[in-house]
Every structure is written in structure tokens, then in C-alpha cells.
Amino acid sequence: MTNPPIRALLADDHAVVRQGIRQFLEESGEIEVVAEAGDGQEGLRLIRQHLPDVAVLDIQMPTLSGIDVARAIRADRLPVGVLILTAFDDEPYVRAVLQAGANGYVLKTADASDIVEAVRAVHDGKSVLDPAIARQLIRRFSDEAPLMVESLTDRELEVLRLAAHGFTNKAIGVQLSISDRTVQGHLAKVFGKLHAASRTEAVMRAVSMGLIPPVLEAEDRV
């Protein structure tokens, strides 16, 4: 039995860019673009109307930025994955995107196949970070003054390793035979011990400290 296509929505203020993205997404045979928007406000309206599986958003758009749209999606508790696809790799943008609740951040310079894979991963409930951005964040954390951190327990390290591979709390719970609420509790303790505000920041800091392997770089893929 063939799986139904992944329903995606594109929001970018450049029509030519949307056309190119739509073409290679649909050429994959797994993704259907159900709507397009040329600004953030229209994008949010169409997201609420169509409830796509994945919203692919640029950051800088008229009326509402991609970050604003991501915040609104999370505030409305819509069952929509959010993938930011942008030309900006500046750290403040990355932090704002992740804090807004986006599931992924990929640069427009990525190969078409990597962007398709990123849409698939977000649809599967995974987190996605462009390898170039991951390397940048790891370098930044490595250059920080050493932090006094409390040691992580073996269980907390197990949870963090799985989080680094992009697994959701529910998927981590299944693999470790614990509830997703327990996973959430372990991650909260990890965040506190590593002085991190998000999963990505916790993973990057743990990699820079040598607590877990650099999976985002080692896989060399989105």
C-alpha cells in the first residue's frame, strides 16, 4: 500500500524561488505542495486553512516573518511541522527560529535532495539542522569559557544522544521503555545542567564538551 504524499506549504516572497522549491519537492514523488504564499500573513492564513504536514518558510517576508509564523503555529497548537528554509546563517536568526518552535533550519544553498530529506524528517517528527549551522554552533560553544556543569547521569546521556539524532520525546520513550513525560523530565534536567535553553543548544554544548559524538556533523547530511 502506497503511503499518502507529504502535504507541504511554501511561504517565500520570491515567486521564482517558490517555483524552484515546488518543482524539486514534487519531483521526489513523495511530497505534494498544497498551497503557496508570498508573505507571512498569507502563509499563516493558508496554514490554518490547509493544515499541511510541513510548512516550509523563509525568514524575511512581508507582513510576518517566518519566525512570527512559527510562533503563531505553536501558539495555536497546530499539528504542523515547521521547516525554515533561508539564506541567513546568522546565529541570532538560528536562536530565534529554534526558540519559536521550528523543527528544522536549512540553508537555501543546500542540495535539493537534502531539502527533500529535511521535509521528510520534519514530517517524521525529527529535528533538522543544516550541517553548516551545526558546525558553526559547535565552534561557538567550543570557544566559550568553560562552564561549571553538573555531571549527567547515564540515563540523561542516553536521552540526550537520542535527542541529538532528532528523535521526538515519544520516540525516545519507546526506545528506552519509559514514558514521554519521563523523557521530558530528563531533558529538563539536562537543560539545567548544561545551561541550555533548547534541545539544539543542549546537543551542541554537549558535543563541544565531548559528552556525546557530533552526530549532526558525522552524518554529513541534513
Looking at residue 134, its pLDDT comes to 75
Answer yes or no: is 211 within a domain. yes
Query: Are residue 92 and residue 195 in the same domain, yes or no?
Result: no
Q: Is-contact 70 103, C-beta < 8 A?
A: no
| Sequence-ordered strand ranges (E) for the chain | 6-11, 31-37, 54-57, 81-86, 104-107, 128-129
Residues forming a β-bridge with 107? 86
- Rg, C-alpha atoms of the chain: 17
The C-alpha angle with vertex 94 and arms to 93 and 98, in degrees rounded to 5, equals: 115
Phi, psi of 9 (to 5 degrees): -125, 140
**Residue 89, domain extent:** 6-129
Q: Is-contact 118 222, C-beta < 8 A?
A: yes
Answer yes or no: is 105 within a domain. yes
Tell me 215's DSSP state: H
Looking at residue 219, its pLDDT comes to 39
Looking at residue 92, its pLDDT comes to 78
Looking at residue 143, its pLDDT comes to 62
What is the SS3 assignment for 128?
strand
Answer yes or no: is 47 within a domain. yes
Looking at residue 205, its pLDDT comes to 80
Looking at residue 140, its pLDDT comes to 67
Looking at residue 142, its pLDDT comes to 61
Query: Are residue 182 and residue 108 in the same domain, yes or no?
Result: no
Query: Are residue 40 and residue 120 in the same domain, yes or no?
Result: yes
Looking at residue 206, its pLDDT comes to 83
End-to-end Cα spacing for the chain: 28
Query: Are residue 149 and residue 212 in the same domain, yes or no?
Result: yes
Residues of the chain with pLDDT under 70: 1, 138-149, 214-222
Q: Is-contact 64 44, C-beta < 8 A?
A: yes
